[in-house]
Amino acid sequence: MLEFNFHPFPIIETERLLLRRMTNDDVNEVFELRSNPETMKYIPRPLAKNNEDALAHIATINTNIDNNTGINWAITLKDSTKLLGIIGYYRLQPENYRAEIGYILSPDFHGKGIVPEAVNVLIKYGFENLKLHSIEAVIDPENYASEKVLQKCGFVKEAHLKEADFWEGKFLDKVIYSLLNN
């Protein structure tokens, strides 16, 4: 079984991006992301109502890192500390050498290739550093932008689960994409 250790926290750079640990200083940006019905449209989680909700989200992320049970990064441009989005491995399955990747990005930065750039570097990190065998992504079937990102990064559609999640009085479909370390 895999053992994960996120200490010291891995700061990751790409051509344009710096992926760093989130702190309470990111509260306003996290609130903006998590309270926006547009960015949260395909994420079945309650909208953040205030900064306390955003701080609770940051605290959960950092507790998971401290416990080596999950890892998320703040997405920033190299020349700025401002959080533009969040990306990470939300669910780790050490017994299956598998993890689930997820991401959210400020609408101001959509269509600039930021998410694929971040996903690609995390694929490399997942396979080389975490020793994963497979990475999955679970998306809403109507989230075409996310689907395009995953396809661009080499993910393959594995399943379409009908009405598999119950959220706010409705049953929702979900699509699972995956990538194998071959």
Span 84-140, pLDDT tens digits: 999 999 999 999 999 999 999 999 999 999 999 999 999 999 999 999 999 999 999
Q: Which DSSP category does 142 fall into?
A: T
pLDDT at 182: 83
User: How far is the C-alpha of 169 from the C-alpha of 155, rounded, in Å?
Assistant: 31
Strand partners, 139: 175
Which value, in Å, is the radius of gyration of the alpha carbons in the chain? 16
Instruction: Determine which helix (DSSP H) or strand (DSSP E) holds 58, and give its type and residue range.
Output: helix 51-66
Summarize pLDDT for 140-154 with one digit per residue, the tens: 999 999 999 999 999
Domains of the chain: 12-180 (3.40.630.30)
Question: What's this model's pTM, rounded to 2 decimal places?
Answer: 0.96
